[in-house]
Chain A
Amino acid sequence: MISDLNSRGESSGEVPTNGHGPAGDPAASNAIAVEHIVKKYGDFTAVDGVSFNVKEEEIFGLLGPNGAGKSTLIRMMTTLIPVTAGSARIAGHDVQNDPDAVRRAIGVIPQALTSDLDLTIEENLNIYAKLYDVPAKKRKAAIDELLELVDLTKWRSAQTKTLSGGMRRRLEIARGLVHSPRIFFLDEPTTGLDPVSRVAVWEMLTNIKSHRQLTILITTHYMDEADRLCDRIAIVDHGKLVALDTPAALKASVPGSNVIEAQFDNVPAGWEDRLKKMSEVTSVQHEGAGMYRVLTGDGSRTTTELVEAAVHSGVKIRSLSVQNTTLDDVFVHYTGRQLRDELVKAHAFVMPPRPGLQP
Chain B
Amino acid sequence: MNHILAIVEREMRKFFRSPALMMASMVFPLVQLIVLGNAFGGKIRDAKLGLVDQDGGTQALKIREAFDSVRANMRTFEPVYYNDPKTAMDDVRNGKIQGAVIIPPQYSRRVYEQDQPRIALVVDNSDNFMSSTLEDELTSITNALNQPTIEPRILQQTVLQIVELYPYIEYMKYLLPGSITLAMFVSVMIGGGMLYIDDKARGVHEGYLVTPITKTELVFGLNAAGAIKAIMTGVVITVIGSLLAGVGTVFNPAIAVQLLILIVLTSVAFNTMMFLLMVRVEDPLVPRAIFGILNTLLFFPSGAIYPIQAFPKWLRGIAAVDPFTFAVHGFKSILLKEAGMTAIWPDMLYLSIFALITLSIATPLFKRTL
Task: Give chain A's interface residues, CB within 8 Å of chain B.
Answer: 75, 78-82, 100, 103-104, 106, 108, 110, 112-116, 118-119, 123, 127-128, 130-133, 159, 175, 354-357
Q: A133-B2, A356-B202 given as contacts; is B18 within 8 A of A106 (CB)?
A: no
Q: Which residues of the other chain, B, contact A159 by a CB distance below 8 angstroms?
A: 17
Residues in chain B near residue A115, CB distance under 8 A: 207
Q: Give A177 to B204 CA distance when docked, in angstroms.
A: 17
From A110, A118, A175, give the contact of B13 (CB < 8 A).
A118
Chain B residues near A118 (CB-CB < 8 A): 13-14, 17-18
For B221, give the chain A residue with the smallest CB separation.
A131
With contacts A103-B212, A110-B206, A132-B212 taken as known, whether A116 is within 8 angstroms of B10 at the C-beta atoms is: yes
Of chain A, the residue at the smallest CB distance from B211 is A131
CA distance A131 to B8 in the complex (A): 11
Q: A118-B14, A130-B6 are in contact. Are A355 and B206 (CB under 8 A)?
A: no
B13 touches A119 (CB 8 A): yes
Query: Considering residues A80, A82, A100, A127, which has the most beta carbons from chain B within 10 angstroms of its beta carbon?
Result: A127
Question: Please, how many angstroms separate the alpha-carbon atoms of A355 and B283 in the complex?
Answer: 11
Determine if A130 and B202 form an interchain contact, defined as CB atoms under 8 angstroms apart.
no
Considering the complex, give the chain A residue whose CB is closest to the CB of B5.
A130
> When A110-B206, A114-B203, A131-B3 are in contact, do A119 and B10 touch as well, CB less than 8 Å?
yes
Which chain B residues border A75 with CB–CB below 8 Å? Answer: 370
Interface string of B192-235 (1 = CB under 8 A from A): 00000010011110111111110000000000000000000000
Query: Cα distance A80–B205 when bound, in Å?
Result: 10
Alpha-carbon distance between A159 and B13 when the two chains are bound, in angstroms: 12
> B369 on the interface (CB 8 Å rule)?
yes
Most chain A CB neighbours (cut-off 10 Å) among B5, B13, B209, B210? B210
Distance from B272 Cβ to chain A, minimum over Cβ atoms (Å): 23
Determine if B9 is an interface residue (Cβ-Cβ < 8 Å). yes
Q: Chain A CB within 10 Å — which of B6, B7, B18, B198 has the most?
A: B6
Residues from chain B with Cβ under 8 Å of A123 in the complex: 10, 13
Known: A112-B203, A118-B14, A130-B3. A81 touches B212 (CB 8 A): no
A355 touches B202 (CB 8 A): yes
Question: What residues make up the interface of B, taking CB atoms closer than 8 Å to A?
Answer: 2-3, 5-7, 9-10, 13-14, 17-18, 198, 201-204, 206-213, 284, 369-370
The chain B residue sitting closest to A100, CB to CB, is B212
CA distance A175 to B202 in the complex (A): 17
Distance to closest chain A CB from B126 (angstroms): 46
Check A128/B202 contact, CB under 8 A, given A80-B370, A118-B13.
no
Q: Give complex CA distance A56, B259 in Å.
A: 60
Q: Which of B9, B203, B369, B370 contacts A127 (CB 8 A)?
A: B9
Q: Is the CB of A81 within 8 A of B369?
A: yes
Within the complex, which residue of A78, A103, A355 is in contact with B284, where a contact is CB–CB below 8 Å? A355
Residue of A nearest to B218 (CB): A131
Cα–Cα distance between A62 and B5 once the two chains are bound (Å): 36
Q: Give the shortest distance, in Å, between B193 (CB) and chain A (any CB).
A: 14
Identify which of A103, A133, A354 contacts B202 (C-beta below 8 A): A354
Whether the Cβ atoms of B212 and A127 lie closer than 8 Å is no
Considering only CB atoms, which chain B residue lies closest to A82 in the complex? Answer: B369
Q: In the complex, which residue of chain B has the Cβ closest to the Cβ of A176? A: B210
Contact residues in A for B18 (Cβ distance below 8 Å): 118
Inter-chain CA distance A133–B3, complex, in Å, is: 8
B6 touches A127 (CB 8 A): yes
10 pairs, CB–CB < 8 Å, chain A vs chain B? A78-B210, A80-B370, A110-B203, A127-B10, A131-B211, A133-B2, A175-B207, A354-B202, A354-B284, A355-B284
Q: A70–B2 Cα gap in the complex (Å)?
A: 33
When the two chains form their complex, are residues B210 and A79 in contact, meaning their CB atoms are under 8 A apart? Answer: yes
Instruction: Select A114's contact among B14, B207, B212, B213, beta carbons within 8 Å.
Output: B207
| CB-contact partner of A80 in B10, B17, B198, B210, under 8 A | B210
CB distance from A168 to the nearest CB of B (A): 12
In the complex, the answer to whether A110 meets B212 with C-beta atoms within 8 Å is: no
Given contacts A112-B202, A127-B9, A355-B202, contact A106 B17 (CB under 8 A): no
Instruction: List residues of chain A with CB within 8 A of the CB of B202.
Output: 112, 114, 354-357
Task: Quote the shortest CB–CB distance from B206 to chain A (angstroms).
Answer: 5
